[in-house]
Amino acid sequence: RKEVEQDPGPFNVPEGATVAFNCTYSNSASQSFFWYRQDCRKEPKLLMSVYSSGNEDGRFTAQLNRASQYISLLIRDSKLSDSATYLCVVSASNDYKLSFGAGTTVTVRA
Amino acid sequence: GAGVSQSPSNKVTEKGKDVELRCDPISGHTALYWYRQSLGQGLEFLIYFQGNSAPDKSGLPSDRFSAERTGGSVSTLTIQRTQQEDSAVYLCASSLVLAIKETQYFGPGTRLLVL
């Protein structure tokens, strides 16, 4: 079983729509959670960290559900520039390595 | 300021040859990480350095892979006797310190193709 699993998508949405997707993680000892964004043939870049109480950063909202071991990302009022692959990333408390999901592809159309 | 740089950006090699990939972290970053990303796969952690030390080499896929870091800065990842399954994008990242919640900044990667 993969450590981090994501729905690969693609999610095709019109501009202005809301899109949300989850990822699940298998290691109950995971303590740190992140969403990274990766544009086509580019390097991953940190989008936001995910905190236990959930957090917002502009149009992006991240939630963590420890009991069910999943993380979600919601994008409101989506823009064309939001088109990318979103990588779910977790790290265990005693481990410096990051475990990446394979990514969820979002395409925002005009 | 300058980000993480990697060279070469692309490398095509023949099966059985050795290759060396280079990573220049952000100046002042003490922690450095290597990952690889195969087509359609998530990033796979390979190894991390705190300064020049790599305490955990268990992520390296085989003994054909080795990595070193000298002077607390530049790192090289060497793959000996390359195989076709080594074809992937090799990504390097650095962070200011080695800490779980510390943001890792990625370089553009080296695309390796083994024929």
pLDDT tens-place string over residues A65-108 = 999 999 999 999 999 999 999 999 998 766 778 899 999 999 99
Q: Are B93 and B33 within 8 A, CB to CB? A: yes
Query: How many residues make up chain B in this entry?
Result: 115
Looking at residue B42, what is its pLDDT? Answer: 81
Looking at residue B70, what is its pLDDT? Answer: 86
What six digits make up the tokens of B88?
Answer: 């992937």
**R_g (Cα) of chain B, nearest Å:** 13
Confidence band (pLDDT; 50, 70, 90) for A19? very high
The Cα A72–Cα A74 span in angstroms is: 7
**Chain A, nearest residue to B109 by Cα:** A43
Looking at residue A31, what is its pLDDT? Answer: 86
**Do A4 and B42 count as a contact with CB atoms less than 8 A apart?**
yes
Chain Cα centroid distance, residue A103 = 8
Residue B79, pLDDT > 90, answer: yes
Looking at residue B32, what is its pLDDT? Answer: 94
The Cα A88–Cα A25 span in angstroms is: 9
Partner A contacted by B43 (CB < 8 A):
yes
Query: Which residues are CB-contacts of A67 (< 8 A; sequence separation ≥ 6)?
Result: none
Confidence band (pLDDT; 50, 70, 90) for A44? very high
Tell me the three state secondary structure of residue A82: helix
| Peptide bond connecting A10 to the previous residue in cis, omega within 30 degrees of 0 | yes
Average pLDDT for chain A: 92
Other C-beta atoms lying within 10 Å of the C-beta of residue A58: 9
The Cα A40–Cα A42 span in angstroms is: 5
Q: Are A4 and A98 within 8 A, CB to CB? A: no
Partner A contacted by B42 (CB < 8 A):
yes
The Cα A25–Cα B75 span in angstroms is: 31
Looking at residue B71, what is its pLDDT? Answer: 85
Looking at residue A50, what is its pLDDT? Answer: 93
Q: Are A37 and A87 within 8 A, CB to CB? A: yes
Average pLDDT over residues B26-33: 93
> Which of B59, B101, B103 shows the shortest C-beta gap to A97?
B59
The Cα B9–Cα B84 span in angstroms is: 18
Q: Tell me the percentage of chain B whose pLDDT exceeds 70.
A: 99
User: Strand B88-95 and strand B105-106: pairing?
Assistant: antiparallel
**Do A43 and B107 count as a contact with CB atoms less than 8 A apart?**
yes
CA angle A23, A28, A33 (to 5 degrees): 50
**Do A98 and B104 count as a contact with CB atoms less than 8 A apart?**
yes
**Do A42 and B108 count as a contact with CB atoms less than 8 A apart?**
yes
Higher pLDDT, B72 or A90: A90
**Count of CB contacts below 8 A, A vs B?**
50
Q: Tell me the percentage of chain B whose pLDDT exceeds 90.
A: 75
